[in-house]
Amino acid sequence: MSVDTKLATFAGGCFWCMVGPFEQLDGVDSIVSGYTGGHTENPTYEEVCSDTTGHVEAIQMRYDPNKVSYEELLNTFWRQIDPTDKGGQFNDRGESYQTAIFYHDEDQKQMAEASIQNLEQNGPFTEPIVTPIRPAKVFYLAEEHHQDYHKKNKFHYQLYKKGSGREGFIKQYWGEA
């Protein structure tokens, strides 16, 4: 792992579905699932899903900016979510499944703002982009059984990704790639 690694934090609905696309990128050194953005210390999954903590399910990665740019991370993020949905993501509804970009410095904030502007101008969405850009807060690790869920429970994960509507949405808006 490079000494020059940085953090990136994204909320894209269910964190199980967010890890895989990022771990395929050369330069992403590690990814964890967790909770951030809220007011409760050390929340549990059950507490976060109750929509009383202010937290969202999120992923946080350590990446090497010499190998993968923050812009590439943003592009990957946008291709995993419905950025026009305020109420959650796909079949997962509620505050804990809302999307957000959590920036760790001013450069990330500016790049995130530019990426939203680009997405609004160049599509593919006709509805307004509602994904907020927020300053990074304390990130709490999710319970161990949520870490690398897509690897530990491949069959259930594939059923979930398809059944939730995420897989079909991604294909509809971004194609097979």
Kindly list the catalytic residues: 14
- Tell me the sheet residues that pair with 135: 103
CB 83, CB 131: distance < 8 Å: yes
- Spatial separation of the C-alpha atoms in residues 62 and 75, rounded to whole Å: 17
- State the DSSP code for 104: S
**Which of 17, 35, 24 has the alpha carbon at shortest distance from 72?**
24
Q: What are phi and psi of 59, to 5 degrees?
A: -120, 150
CB 147, CB 33: distance < 8 Å: yes
Token pair of 152, please?
Answer: 């530990």
